[in-house]
A and B are shown apart, each in its own frame.
Chain A
Amino acid sequence: MLEVRGLTVEYATDSAPVVAVKSVDLDVAAGEFVGVVGESGCGKSTLLFAIARLLSPPAAITAGSIVFKGHNLVTMTEKQLNALRWRDCSVVMQSAMNALNPITSIGAQFRDVADAHMDWSPAEVEERSTEVLQMVGIDPIHLKSYPHQLSGGMRQRAMIAMSLLFTPDLVIMDEPTSALDVVAQRSLMVQIKQLQRRLGFAVVFVTHDMSLVSHFSDQLLVMYAGLIVEAGPTRTVFDTPAHPYSRGLLEAFPSIRGARTPLTGIPGSPPDLARPPGGCRFHPRCPVAMPECAKIEPPLYTVGLAQARCLLHAPERASLSEVPS
């Protein structure tokens, strides 16, 4: 349903443009939950905004295609995009709870959204608003409430309800749970998954917290410095991470169960995208870097069910040694 090929996003600066997202390929099937994971500065939010065609200058898509239900979003005009927006594809942003207008009621804001995209009668709008609020577990009486009267978790749910007004085929979420506490977070994730199963929409979910999506996503993509460094079925990536960065990331989460072992995290910090390292972008921090890694930028190699952007998996090496674990 969504097919992204070779997507590249650049930011114009006083000097050379900064490549925030480089050559990203992404496939989302109908009803699939895709998680995009990475740390700050890796480009995941930029990727999301690019897919939703919400980028503004100085950022711009400079290459690639985004084919959504057969149409290439990159070449569409604003008018054509508006026909798609919210009806086929909606967006839930980070800290969406602050995106609610504090001086109008929830119901009024739902009406605004409905009026902007469809020609429904007020009765229809109210009926649908009630429906979506119930779906996310909010009492419809809150249509008359103001945002400050709801808790953070409830506001976030209200935003998710808003995104489902027209039963879109794709909902893009940018860290919707990051401002919530752990119990609210868990509850919201479960709710999203239930809604997804019930209504059948696909989700592209961006987060920095890998463990959050571990139980919910079908497919997992790991981003680093603007590139996808690993992609595959979630369980595969978690159980057998093929890229040293994914491995490092997984190991950087202390566990509440099992033995208490000292962890090392990943030394150093993500590169400045204005001057990324030559060759593999991860090599300065990689515990298993080889001399070639500084010179060759690896493509995505197939590793079993997944793909990893690491020279360790180049087919020529397969005969040499096992991937160090």
Chain B
Amino acid sequence: MTALLVGTPAEPPVETAGRRHGAGLWGAIRRSRKAQVGLAMLFVFCMFAAAPQLFTSVRHPNDVAFPPRLPPSGAHWLGTTALGQDIWAQLVYGTRESLVIAVVAGAFATVLSVLVGVSAAYLGGIADDGLSMFTNVFLVIPTFPLIIILATYAGNGTLPVVLIVLIVTGWSYGANQLRAQTLSLRNRDFLEAARVRGERRSYVIFAEVLPTMTSLILATFLGAALYSVLTAAGLQFIGLGDPNSISWGTMLYWAQNQQALQTGTPLWSIAPGLCVALLGASFALINYAFDEISNPALRPVRGRRRARG
């Protein structure tokens, strides 16, 4: 093919300013206060989960090894429970279960959301009507009663049961959001261009539509993870979890059971509750930070405004 230099060739590509200043994702994260705080908190929790033995000398936190109801001290940073367990150790070891729940339930719920939401929007017509109805049914069912029923029906609340319950109740919200976003993208020219090029529908959905929605999918995941952490803690608190497991929710359950707040060991209740809140907050902060990074219009305005007469 001969070169068609028509008149004059087109101009060289535009140099983006971003390439200069420590740009891209990493630079944006460094500039965002929310991202730093959220990621830092998450990092700490991940460390607890990955290597709990680095943070406490106790190896079996559920063993009744210490005198009960000790106040915080050098040996027991948060004191001991009414049964004689080190609270700090339980907290550290309990991180693992909470994180596992957040990530696993969050991930599977997101996968379901994506499959149902994106397909419904892209396929349209009857498929859309059917999938939307399915989504809406799950959306309007009152979740907590449903969770309680499912958990009770499944017998004891072992971890897989809890996970399944969370996934089944947690996917529908994200599915709606993803469907809405896909609908708005559906008529974009580049999707039509892919069809006109001869691509199969499945290819278009997975290779053309999904990559443009990564920030929404990430937000859905973070939302689902947040939901899972809070709801799992709630389930375990009311006794539907496994009372012998080591997790924050179980700590709350036993603390409530032993009336920790009234009997002089408030930290037994407060500490796990605070951790649940902090983990949730870290997900939320990372979510906000990503919103701001991907949509510059949402960034906080920091520069001085100069208005002269």
A and B touch in the complex (CB under 8 A): yes
**A residues lining the B interface (CB < 8 Å):** 10, 12-15, 57-58, 60-63, 72, 74-75, 264-265, 267-269, 272, 274-275
The binding surface of chain B is classed by DSSP as loop
Contact A264 B8 (CB under 8 A): yes
Residues of B within 8 A of A10 (CB): 306
Residues of A within 8 A of B7 (CB): 264-265, 267
Contact A12 B309 (CB under 8 A): no
Interface flags, B270-309, vs A, CB<8A=1, else 0: 0000000000000000000000000000000101011111
Contact A75 B14 (CB under 8 A): no
A66 CB to nearest B CB, Å: 11
Contact A58 B301 (CB under 8 A): yes
Interface flags, B1-38, vs A, CB<8A=1, else 0: 00000011001001101000100000000010000000
Q: Can you list 12 A-B contacts with CB-CB less than 8 angstroms, sorted by A residue number?
A: A12-B303, A14-B21, A61-B307, A62-B307, A62-B308, A63-B308, A74-B308, A75-B309, A264-B8, A267-B7, A272-B14, A272-B15
Residues of B within 8 A of A264 (CB): 7-8
B82 CB to nearest A CB, Å: 54
Residues of B within 8 A of A269 (CB): 11
Nearest chain-B residue to A274 (Cβ)?
B17
Residues of A within 8 A of B31 (CB): 14
Knowing A264-B8, A267-B11, A269-B11, say if A60 contacts B306 (CB, 8 Å). Answer: yes
Complex CA distance for A62 and B31, rounded to whole angstroms:
27
Complex CA distance for A264 and B303, rounded to whole angstroms:
43
Partner of B309, one of A57, A58, A74, A272: A74
Partner of A60, one of B8, B17, B307, B309: B307
Complex CA distance for A57 and B297, rounded to whole angstroms:
11
Partner of B306, one of A15, A62, A74, A267: A62
Residues of A within 8 A of B11 (CB): 267-269
Complex CA distance for A75 and B306, rounded to whole angstroms:
13
Nearest chain-A residue to B31 (Cβ)?
A14
Complex CA distance for A75 and B308, rounded to whole angstroms:
8
Complex CA distance for A16 and B283, rounded to whole angstroms:
33
B168 CB to nearest A CB, Å: 38
Contact B303 A58 (CB under 8 A): yes
A225 CB to nearest B CB, Å: 14
Q: Known A-B contacts: A62-B306, A62-B307, A267-B11. Give 7 more (CB < 8 A).
A: A12-B305, A13-B17, A58-B303, A62-B308, A265-B7, A268-B8, A268-B11
Nearest chain-A residue to B6 (Cβ)?
A264
Contact B305 A60 (CB under 8 A): yes
**B residues lining the A interface (CB < 8 Å):** 7-8, 11, 14-15, 17, 21, 31, 301, 303, 305-309
Residues of A within 8 A of B17 (CB): 13, 15, 274
Complex CA distance for A72 and B309, rounded to whole angstroms:
9
Complex CA distance for A267 and B197, rounded to whole angstroms:
31
Residues of B within 8 A of A272 (CB): 14-15
Nearest chain-A residue to B23 (Cβ)?
A14
Nearest chain-A residue to B27 (Cβ)?
A14
Residues of B within 8 A of A274 (CB): 17
Residues of B within 8 A of A74 (CB): 308-309
B33 CB to nearest A CB, Å: 15
A324 CB to nearest B CB, Å: 19
Nearest chain-A residue to B8 (Cβ)?
A267
Complex CA distance for A13 and B15, rounded to whole angstroms:
16
Residues of B within 8 A of A13 (CB): 17
Residues of B within 8 A of A265 (CB): 7
Residue with the highest number of chain B CB atoms closer than 10 Å, among A10, A12, A63, A264: A12
The 5 A-B residue pairs with the shortest CB-CB distance in the complex, in nearest-first order: A267-B8, A75-B309, A12-B303, A268-B11, A269-B11
B245 CB to nearest A CB, Å: 48
Complex CA distance for A15 and B17, rounded to whole angstroms:
9
Complex CA distance for A267 and B31, rounded to whole angstroms:
38
A67 CB to nearest B CB, Å: 12
Residues of B within 8 A of A61 (CB): 307-308
Nearest chain-B residue to A263 (Cβ)?
B7
Complex CA distance for A12 and B301, rounded to whole angstroms:
9
Nearest chain-B residue to A10 (Cβ)?
B306
Complex CA distance for A9 and B20, rounded to whole angstroms:
25
A287 CB to nearest B CB, Å: 10
Nearest chain-B residue to A264 (Cβ)?
B7
A17 CB to nearest B CB, Å: 8
A249 CB to nearest B CB, Å: 16
Complex CA distance for A12 and B299, rounded to whole angstroms:
13
Complex CA distance for A269 and B11, rounded to whole angstroms:
7
Complex CA distance for A60 and B14, rounded to whole angstroms:
25
Complex CA distance for A104 and B307, rounded to whole angstroms:
37
Complex CA distance for A63 and B306, rounded to whole angstroms:
10
Nearest chain-A residue to B20 (Cβ)?
A15
Complex CA distance for A61 and B306, rounded to whole angstroms:
8
Residues of A within 8 A of B309 (CB): 72, 74-75
B104 CB to nearest A CB, Å: 38
Nearest chain-A residue to B15 (Cβ)?
A272
Nearest chain-A residue to B18 (Cβ)?
A14
Nearest chain-B residue to A14 (Cβ)?
B21
Complex CA distance for A71 and B309, rounded to whole angstroms:
12
A73 CB to nearest B CB, Å: 10
Residues of A within 8 A of B8 (CB): 264, 267-268
Residues of A within 8 A of B21 (CB): 14-15
Complex CA distance for A268 and B305, rounded to whole angstroms:
34
Residues of A within 8 A of B15 (CB): 272, 275
Complex CA distance for A14 and B303, rounded to whole angstroms:
8
Residues of A within 8 A of B305 (CB): 12, 57, 60
Complex CA distance for A63 and B231, rounded to whole angstroms:
56
Complex CA distance for A14 and B306, rounded to whole angstroms:
15
